[in-house]
């Protein structure tokens, strides 16, 4: 019986040791994630171009596969926003220290993806979307001249 008593005690001590070491490991992982978030680099023009083109390519392929246009554009725009938030913390080099939230990135991505898709697969873009894009582009050009 004395042997069983000591082995149970040893098992409890080992169990506590394992729990403590897993806890420390978890804390270390959390610290690494926090440090990684601080070291995010703002998205450059090349990064934005790549993400926009990938979204436009997806939209063109989805349209040709007869996926609902709004769904395809929504997925492409959400992916655009998620990549910039995940990889760059929502920061874009051209905007300086300002970080964009998911909604603003989604809206900006939608506009940019439609513009690129009009160059890649204009036949896949509904006329209403094309007209809305052109109106919005004209407004933006006017605003930038002021």
Tokens at residue 53, please? 């083109």
Say yes or no: 34 and 58 in one domain. Answer: no
User: Per the confidence metrics, is the pTM higher than 0.95?
Assistant: no
Phi-psi region of 66 (alpha: psi -120 to 50; beta: other; left: phi over 0): left
| Distance, CA of 45 to CA of 93 (rounded, Å) | 8
Say yes or no: 134 and 97 in one domain. Answer: yes
Say yes or no: 65 and 133 in one domain. Answer: yes
pLDDT band at 14 (very low <50, low <70, confident <90, very high): low
pLDDT of residue 36: 46
Q: What is the pLDDT of residues 30-72, one digit of tens each?
A: 555 544 455 689 999 999 999 999 999 999 999 999 999 999 9
| Distance, CA of 112 to CA of 116 (rounded, Å) | 6
Say yes or no: 71 and 141 in one domain. Answer: yes
- The domain tally of the chain equals 2
pLDDT of residue 40: 84
Say yes or no: 56 and 94 in one domain. Answer: yes
| DSSP string covering 50-87 | HHHHHHHHHHHHHHHTT--HHHHHHHHHHHHHHHHHHH
Say yes or no: 102 and 56 in one domain. Answer: yes
């Amino acid at each position: 019986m004395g042997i069983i008593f000591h082995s149970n005690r040893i098992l409890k001590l080992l169990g506590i040791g394992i729990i403590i070491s897993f806890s420390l490991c978890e804390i270390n992982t959390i610290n690494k994630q926090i440090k990684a978030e601080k070291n995010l680099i703002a998205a450059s023009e090349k990064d934005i171009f790549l993400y926009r083109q990938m979204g436009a390519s997806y939209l063109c392929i989805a349209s040709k596969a007869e996926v609902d246009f709004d769904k395809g554009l929504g997925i492409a725009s959400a992916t655009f926003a998620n990549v910039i938030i995940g990889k760059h913390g929502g920061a874009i080099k051209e905007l300086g220290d300002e970080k964009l939230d998911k909604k603003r990135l989604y809206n900006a991505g939608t506009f940019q993806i439609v513009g690129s898709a009009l160059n890649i697969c204009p036949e896949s873009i509904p006329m209403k979307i094309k007209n809305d894009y052109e109106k919005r582009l004209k407004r933006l050009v006017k605003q930038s001249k002021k």
